[in-house]
Amino acid sequence: MKLLVTGTAGFIGFHLVKSLVNSGHEIIGMDSINDYYDVDLKFGRLQETGIESDEIEYNKLIVSNKFPNYRFIKLDLEDHDNINSLFESENFDVVCHLAAQAGVRYSITNPHSYIQSNIVGFLNILEGCRYNDIKHLIYASSSSVYGLNKKMPFSTQDNVDHPVSLYAASKKSNELMAHTYSHLYGIPTTGLRFFTVYGPWGRPDMAYFKFTKAIIEDKPIDVYNYGNMERDFTYVDDVVDGIMKIVDSEPPEGNNEWSCDGPNPSSSKAPYRIYNIGNNSPVNLLKFIEILESKLDKRANKIYLPMQLGDLKTTYADVEDLIRDFGYKPTTSLEQGIGEFVAWYQRVYNV
**Hey, which residues are catalytic here?**
167
Number of residues that bind ligand NAD (CB under 6 A): 27
Q: Can residue 34 be called a binding residue for ligand NAD (CB under 6 A)? A: yes
| Member of 46, 145, 197, 291 binding ligand NAD (CB under 6 A) | 197
| Member of 27, 95, 100, 322 binding ligand NAD (CB under 6 A) | 100
Instruction: From 32-40, 50-58, 217-225, 314-322, give the range in contact with ligand NAD by CB under 6 A.
Output: 32-40
Residue nearest ligand NAD by beta-carbon distance: 10
Q: Can residue 196 be called a binding residue for ligand NAD (CB under 6 A)? A: yes
**From residue 30, how far is each of 4, 6, 79, 228 by CA, in Å?**
7, 5, 12, 38
Select from 1, 38, 33 the least CA-distant residue to 14.
33
Q: Can residue 78 be called a binding residue for ligand NAD (CB under 6 A)? A: yes
| Shortest distance in whole angstroms from residue 71 CB to ligand NAD | 16
Q: Can residue 142 be called a binding residue for ligand NAD (CB under 6 A)? A: yes
Please identify, using beta-carbon distances, which residue of 121 and 163 lies nearer to ligand NAD.
121
**What does the alpha-carbon distance between residue 239 and residue 247 come to, in Å, rounded to a whole number?**
12
Q: Can residue 4 be called a binding residue for ligand NAD (CB under 6 A)? A: no
Q: Can residue 128 be called a binding residue for ligand NAD (CB under 6 A)? A: no
Residue 237 and residue 332 in contact, taking contact as beta carbons nearer than 8 Å: yes
Instruction: From 92-100, 158-166, 265-273, 283-291, give the range in contact with ligand NAD by CB under 6 A.
Output: 92-100
| Member of 3, 4, 5, 12 binding ligand NAD (CB under 6 A) | 12
| Shortest distance in whole angstroms from residue 77 CB to ligand NAD | 4
Q: Which residues, numbered 245-284, are part of the site for ligand NAD (CB under 6 A)?
A: none
Residue 141 and residue 111 in contact, taking contact as beta carbons nearer than 8 Å: no
Please identify, using beta-carbon distances, which residue of 110 and 301 lies nearer to ligand NAD.
110
Select from 281, 117, 149, 285 the least CA-distant residue to 211.
285
| Member of 18, 136, 203, 295 binding ligand NAD (CB under 6 A) | 203
Q: Can residue 338 be called a binding residue for ligand NAD (CB under 6 A)? A: no
| Member of 87, 114, 194, 209 binding ligand NAD (CB under 6 A) | 194
The contact mask relative to ligand NAD for 148-187 (x = CB under 6 A, - = no) is ----------------------------------------
Q: Can residue 125 be called a binding residue for ligand NAD (CB under 6 A)? A: no
SS3 of the chain: CEEEEECCCCHHHHHHHHHHCCCCCEEEEEECCCCCCCHHHHHHHHHHCCCCHHHCCECCCEECCCCCCEEEEECCCCCHHHHHHHHHHHCCCEEEECCCCCCCCHHHHCHHHHHHHHHHHHHHHHHHHHHCCCCEEEEEEEHHHHCCCCCCCECCCCCCCCCCCHHHHHHHHHHHHHHHHHHHHCCCEEEEEECCEECCCCCCCCHHHHHHHHHHCCCCEEEHHHHCCEECCEEHHHHHHHHHHHHCCCCCCCCCCCCCCCCCCCCCCCCEEEEEECCCCCEEHHHHHHHHHHHHCCCCCEEECCCCCCCCCECCECCHHHHHHHCCCCCCCHHHHHHHHHHHHHHHCCC
| Shortest distance in whole angstroms from residue 276 CB to ligand NAD | 11
Q: Can residue 102 be called a binding residue for ligand NAD (CB under 6 A)? A: yes
Please identify, using beta-carbon distances, which residue of 99 and 134 lies nearer to ligand NAD.
99
Binding-site ranges for ligand NAD (CB under 6 A): 7, 9-13, 31-34, 42, 76-78, 98-102, 117, 121, 140, 142, 194, 196-197, 203
